[in-house]
Amino acid sequence: MDPQAVRKDFPVLFQQVNGHPLVYLDNGATSHRPLAVIDEIKRFEEEDNSNVHRSVHTLGQRATELFEGARTKLAALLGVPGTNGLIFTKSATESLNLVAYAWGRHHLSEGDEVLITEMEHHSNIVSWQLACKDTGAVIKAVPVDDNGVLDMAEYDRLLSNKTKVVAVCHVSNVLGTINPIAEISAKAHRVGAIVVCDGAQAVPHMAIDIPSLDCDFYAGTGHKMCAPTGIGFLWGREHILEEMEPFHGGGDMILDVWIDHSSYNEIPYKFEAGTPPISQAVGLSTAIDYLNNLGWEAIRRHEIEITRYALDRLAELPDITVYGPTDAELKGGLVSFNIDDIHPHDVGTILDGKGVAIRAGHHCAKPLMRKLGVGATNRASFYIYNTHSDVDALVDALESCRKMFG
């Protein structure tokens, strides 16, 4: 995979920011869209736009075929058999809230325990806090060790017959740590717990085979993998989804409605009330084609290589602290770091003046920030169109930042 050739497919990259060529290193927040995705969404809006599952006319049928085709394509990407367990949502955040609300509030009770980790995104923390508040269950957290990986011995100690849920990210959005989901799932299932995996930072960057992970729910989002914003997904085991109550009420999620009660549609439609993100699903379908054509092995190999290069270049600078694993093979395509005595917001602002876009802040992971002993970090996150020259521009901008602050 040639990232220089890939860049040509992304028109947003060819612009000046503050008088400098844009260097976009905030892919952990959102990726950009290639022309193929932009053009297909435009074509859909001009030719096929209609609501799905409701109309017998030609446009309605075409829109439905494209929408359900995206679901089929996504199921193949995730390695899951069939599409019944694959629900479209607006984001990974909504997906995680769906599980916490529709499963958690009906299966947790006082004295039960929800086991999360110290590296979770707020979406996989706050949603469970709300469920525990309503049910009397309690949250416990698996600690992160000094190398930025989960303390699996402590995970073993915390697991018990009281554990009903293990909520864990596949890849940390701050540390880049790739967690051993299959091992976590196997141990959780021995005590009867379900495993809810946040895959938002994993699906765009590596081949995913959910059956081999053996989790019970897996959440992801489209906008981090070259698709539009406004579409995410939740995969769940069908027998669990069948037993769950709906998350939202409204059109298309029902079989019949009376004044005082309703019967619900089959899965996944039971969880897809109202008009779904149709053009976004069309864009996601095209984004999957685009990434499949690049090849997932090539994508992963490129990100390992550029992350390794970034770690090596950052190591040349004094006063830099890097958080998380320093072996690029063990992490996703991102590096979080701080420069001594310079606030990340100042770093991010100065870098933006050089045309370099990074993320500076707590990354929706405040418990992890407290564990690291910082209020915020800088994060450079890479994708298919990033090159060595992007990393060099980052390092040069950081040198300017250090000189500015003496």
Residues annotated catalytic, as ranges: 364
**Distance (Å, whole) CA 133 – CA 143:** 22
Q: Could you give the 3-state DSSP secondary structure of residue 9?
A: coil
CA distances from 200 to 208, 305, 315 (A): 12, 21, 28
**Distance (Å, whole) CA 207 – CA 299:** 9
Give Cβ neighbours of residue 166 (< 8 Å, ≥ 6 apart). Answer: 115, 116, 159, 184, 185, 188, 193, 194, 195, 196
Residue 291: enclosing H or E segment and its boundaries?
Answer: helix 278-294
b/e string for 10-36 if b means 16 or more Cβ within 10 A? Answer: beebeeeeeeeebbbbbbbbbbbbbeb
Tokens 């193929």 locate to 36
